[in-house]
């Protein structure tokens, strides 16, 4: 373990970066379009007299309390504004009232998010999460063919620095044992079985990089033996629990197992009209920029007692994933990240036409997550099996359209090793010893991201507060 030093991240915001955000201060009380260079926040509206490009932007764009109108102008305009600001910095010609130290500025949510989707693009996270939740190390069957994801809730997205409340939700009081109608648990016996059943297979798969022949064997073994037994057992025990009535108790209470998820998200700039579809090649032109993202979760393992377990079958999580999402305040543009891209992963099978992109590139951004300054995971966006362009193309492939400000997240950016875990769920794979438990009230989670010299994201930070008080109906 190492500690993560607290700073103002001035080195993240060099001349090559020039991000966009929404800021306010005593001198500029109305939230408006800002950018940043080192320690300085630059209020863009104050520069309009210095540049024809900026003078041509409507006042309502420069002074709007969100970046949506500016984002909708498209990549060419964003690039021109960015280049103009870079010239001002090089020539040092800023008016006196146009810049303030970051310590004097309040940052706000950068965009008004209409729709929010969370994908799951890391194969390592998928396998470990599947093992923790379901006891097997397989990726979902759809995963090789399309980006899998679920709809989030935009009303609970907040900017970095905003505390989050421990969420409430429904869960089985006796966890997975309650689900089966058996509230007793032999921990020693469980652990022994877990070790025999899962640990060897998991390590073997990682060493062989999940070769196809291993996967086939695992599937056969699980499907033929375990699945039949599990289903029979579950049905018998479910019936028992239903008759006795008290063993399948469902509780409504604050989440006992609150987790973070270290991720990144892309923000839509120029919209895609309803009824239109695009390819991954075309998606690049619809990207406004990227932010760090923490998709907080009410988990269901570590004694298997929490919200996600009860909600997942058959429709997926709801309240367990909708209570809170935190994003970083600075939107980093595709132009700033151009040189920090690598060749996307090659496929051994043909994808649907909208997802095919032979020359596709993946972002190469280093990310890390800490709890109260203690680092629990470091990884990179290079672990993603799908590019952000593919996420956009797939989201639009049904003809639903995408609007300016829509947010599409990567999911947990976990790597293959213990030090690369992007959430605490992955600590609770059967047969393995967790390094820590889930989050406590009062703990602060910080996600940091940096692409290279002078180009970073700053941080995405929030502190966990106790659950709010629930209103009770009067008799």
- Nearest by Cα to 205 from 147, 287, 131: 131
Give CA separation, 232 vs 60, 127, 185, 242, in Å.
63, 25, 19, 16
Determine the Cα–Cα distance for residues 213 and 203; give it in Å rounded to an integer: 15
Q: How confident is the model at residue 249, as a pLDDT?
A: 74
Element (H, E) at 380: strand 374-380
Q: What is the CB neighbour count within 10 angstroms for residue 153?
A: 16
Give the DSSP letter string of 145-175: TS--EEE--GGGEEETT--EEPPEEEEETTH
Determine the Cα–Cα distance for residues 64 and 43; give it in Å rounded to an integer: 12
Q: How confident is the model at residue 112, as a pLDDT?
A: 98
- CA dihedral (78, 82, 83, 87) in degrees, to 10, reads 150
Q: How confident is the model at residue 173, as a pLDDT?
A: 66
pLDDT along the chain (475 residues), means of 10: 55 98 98 97 96 95 98 97 97 92 97 96 92 78 91 94 91 52 40 42 43 45 46 42 53 87 98 97 97 86 46 63 91 98 90 89 97 96 97 96 98 96 91 91 98 98 92 64
Q: How confident is the model at residue 473, as a pLDDT?
A: 62
- Nearest by Cα to 266 from 328, 322, 317: 328
Contact 431, 204 (CB under 8 A): no
Q: How confident is the model at residue 46, as a pLDDT?
A: 96
Q: How confident is the model at residue 227, as a pLDDT?
A: 43
Q: How confident is the model at residue 256, as a pLDDT?
A: 85
- Contact residues for 158 (Cβ-Cβ < 8 A; gap 6+): 109, 164, 324, 325, 326, 327, 462
Quick one: DSSP state of residue 84? H
């Amino acid at each position: 373990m190492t500690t993560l030093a607290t700073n103002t991240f001035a080195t993240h915001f060099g001349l090559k970066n020039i991000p966009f955000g929404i800021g306010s201060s005593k001198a500029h009380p109305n939230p408006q379009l800002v950018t940043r260079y080192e320690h300085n926040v630059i209020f863009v509206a104050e520069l309009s007299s210095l540049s024809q490009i900026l003078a041509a932007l409507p006042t309502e764009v420069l002074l709007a309390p969100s970046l949506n109108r500016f984002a909708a102008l498209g990549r060419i305009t964003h690039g021109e504004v960015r280049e103009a600001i870079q010239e001002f910095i090089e020539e040092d010609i800023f008016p006196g009232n146009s810049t303030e130290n970051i310590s004097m500025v309040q940052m706000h949510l950068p965009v008004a998010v209409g729709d929010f989707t969370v994908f799951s693009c890391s194969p390592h996270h998928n396998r470990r999460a599947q093992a923790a939740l379901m006891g097997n190390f397989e990726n979902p069957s759809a995963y090789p063919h399309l980006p899998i994801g679920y709809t989030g809730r935009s009303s609970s997205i907040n900017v970095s620095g905003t505390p989050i409340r421990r969420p409430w939700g429904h869960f089985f009081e006796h966890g997975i044992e309650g689900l089966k109608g058996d509230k007793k648990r032999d921990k020693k016996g469980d652990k022994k079985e877990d070790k025999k059943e899962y640990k060897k297979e998991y390590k073997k798969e990682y060493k062989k990089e999940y070769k196809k022949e291993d996967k086939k064997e695992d599937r056969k073994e699980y499907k033929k033996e375990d699945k039949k037994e599990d289903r029979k057992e579950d049905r018998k025990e479910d019936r028992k629990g239903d008759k006795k009535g008290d063993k399948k108790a469902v509780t409504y209470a604050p989440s006992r197992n609150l987790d973070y998820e270290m991720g990144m998200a892309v923000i839509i700039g120029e919209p895609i009209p309803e009824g239109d579809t695009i390819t991954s090649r075309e998606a690049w032109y619809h990207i406004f920029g990227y932010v760090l993202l923490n998709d907080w979760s009410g988990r269901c393992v570590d004694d298997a007692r929490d919200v996600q377990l009860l909600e997942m079958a058959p429709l997926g999580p709801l309240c367990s994933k909708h209570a809170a999402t935190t994003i970083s305040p600075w939107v980093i543009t595709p132009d700033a990240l151009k040189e920090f891209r690598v060749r996307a992963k090659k496929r051994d099978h043909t994808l649907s036409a909208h997802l095919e992109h032979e020359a596709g590139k993946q972002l190469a951004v280093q990310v890390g997550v800490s709890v109260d300054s203690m680092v629990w995971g470091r990884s990179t966006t290079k672990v993603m099996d799908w590019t952000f362009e593919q996420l956009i193309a797939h989201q639009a492939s049904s003809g639903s359209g995408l609007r300016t400000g829509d947010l599409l997240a990567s999911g947990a950016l976990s790597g293959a090793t213990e030090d690369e875990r992007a959430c605490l769920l992955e600590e609770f794979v059967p047969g393995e010893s967790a390094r820590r438990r889930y989050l406590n009230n009062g703990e602060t989670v910080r996600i940091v991201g940096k692409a290279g010299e002078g180009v970073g994201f700053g941080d995405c930070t929030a502190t966990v507060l106790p659950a709010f008080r629930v209103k009770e109906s009067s008799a």
